[in-house]
Structure 1
């Protein structure tokens, strides 16, 4: 018997209550880290961290 486990990613849209972890502005981007956890960014701070998040293999949702 083969175990075919499937992982389903359920969309978790950003709301007006979600705030940037850096400055507190409205969050526009959620970065889910492969090591666990997530970070929320406004557009400005996401642009500044985009390259490093890509290096880390973060899953980005806007």
Structure 2
């Protein structure tokens, strides 16, 4: 998975995947200013489309 460097707070145990509520491992910063958190499984699933729309991914 290709990621871009994004200055963002470090993910903690309290951060949860927006799809399944598992522990979050990846933060997707959207160009519109929003953010999504994903577990490793969902990050791999959605990374190609997120990168295509210009989101920056960080772990």
TM range (shorter): 0.7 to 0.9
Q: Of the candidates 34, 38, 44, which is equivalent to residue 37 of structure 1?
A: 34
Aligned twin of 1:16: 13
Once the two structures are superposed, what CA deviation does each residue of 1:2-55 show, in whole Å capped at 9, x if it has no partner?
xxxxxxx64311000000000000000000000120000000001110110011
The structure number with the bigger radius of gyration is 1
- Higher relative contact order by CA 8 Å / sep ≥ 6: 1 or 2? 2
Q: TM-score, normalised by structure 2?
A: 0.85
Question: Please, what is the CA RMSD of the aligned residues?
Answer: 1.2
Displacement after TM superposition at 1:56 (Å): 1.0
Structure 1 unaligned regions, length at least 5: 1-8
1:56 aligns with 2:14: no
